[in-house]
Amino acid sequence: MIDDETVRHVARLARLRLSPDEEQVMREELSGILEHIDAIRAMDLDGVPPTTHVIALENVVRPDVPVPGLPREEALREAAHVTDEGFGVPRMD
């Protein structure tokens, strides 16, 4: 089991405010996920290269040719708040 402090740390990084009950649920669920890693660790993996991708594809690229994007009104349509032709956000200093 991971400890409460680790749960709180991960929650802060994810900008989540958890109640003590929610922390407990998260602690159990995260621990469960990490136990899968323990199962892999228990195997003999000498000589097996680390895997980062599960599909055997490489070099999926596109040519450097512009394609039309979104008109500004459409780009801004989903914005929570529009200011000065842009996405308005709380002041960042």
Residues that bind another protein (CB under 8 A): 9, 12-13, 15, 52-53, 55, 57-67, 69-70, 72, 75-76, 78, 83-92
Q: How far is the CB of 2 from another protein (least distance, A)?
A: 15
Q: How far is the CB of 81 from another protein (least distance, A)?
A: 8
Cβ atoms of 77 and 71 closer than 8 Å: no
Vertex 90 angle, CA 87 and 93, to 5°: 110
Q: Which is nearer to another protein, 14 or 42 (CB)?
A: 14
